[in-house]
Amino acid sequence: MSNELPRARQQLAKIPSLLKQKKPLPAIQSLHDGLIAVIKNPLMKAERDEFEQMLADALRAVNSDAGVRQSYPLMLEYQPGAERQLLEAVNEMLAAINEIAMEGAQEQLVLLEQKKEAGFAKGQAHLDHNEYEEARVVFSTLAEEYSEDARLKARIGDAFFKAGLFEDAVTYLADSLEIDPEAAFAYNRIGMALRKQNKFNIAEQYYFKALQFLGKDPGILFNLGRLYIDWQQWESAERIAAEVVDLKPDFTEARQMLEYVRKRSGKQTDNR
């Protein structure tokens, strides 16, 4: 309790500064917190006189602030001894300003996503027209601007993958994993890109990592089987293909893979 009154002084004293910085929500929150401390703690006469003056000064600043008035047009009124009634009014003001702030934040988020989508579409258009250097410039700028957006970097990596630019794909997908190490999709996609580059050892590790997160996923296991075929690791390819067929008997491509591998070794495939 001994620390509450000094904190209340600090909260009330910084309200004019917060309003000058155009931060109405933190200012009203400070008024709320300072007022709570005044209500909760027994005050000596000198302390009460001090806080009554501080509250009056704070309300003067709040009531005259254009930003607050725009969000909450009602004036706050205060009479010494009526702190609880003031708290009710402050709570209403705080709720109204908080709601407006959330709406504004949501609008900003929508605009941000629209900007990202426009940038991505521009880069994709360059890829679609085989303008690879232009695409690299656009995507590099976009990824730098939103450097903590793992999903965006994964999308860029996937776009490069689909364009057959596997080194670029691996770069962006690996960057996305630096931010979100549990993105199993990125591990799988990197494995596919590395297989295309005949980097079999590294690709295998990325597939293993994807399987750690997703368990025995038939699609990832199938991709691992394709890796072993390209790598000419026939026993491993047969083992993985058989596992996929056991997991998902109607997986036609996996059955075809198993047949292909067993024919190479002269084995018969169960076609049931």
Q: Give the H/E segment covering residue 243.
A: helix 234-247
Q: Which two tokens stand for residue 91?
A: 């709570």
Average pLDDT score over residue span 112-127: 94
Q: Is the pLDDT of residue 1 over 60?
A: no
Number of residues written out for the chain:
272
Q: How far apart are CA 125 and CA 128, in angstroms?
A: 5
List b or e across 250-272, with b for residues whose CB sees 16 or more CB atoms inside 10 angstroms: ebeebbebbbebbeeeeeebeee
The predicted-structure confidence for 194-248, as pLDDT tens digits, reads as follows 999 999 999 999 999 999 998 999 999 999 999 999 999 999 999 999 999 999 9
The predicted-structure confidence for 143-181, as pLDDT tens digits, reads as follows 999 999 999 999 999 999 999 999 999 999 999 999 999
- The percent of residues in the chain predicted with pLDDT above 70, rounded, is 96
Q: Are 23 and 42 in contact (CB under 8 A)?
A: no
Kindly report the number of other CB atoms within 10 A of residue 90's CB atom.
Answer: 23
pLDDT bin (cut points 50, 70, 90) of residue 31 is confident
pTM given for the model? 0.61
Residue recorded with tokens 């026939």 = 234
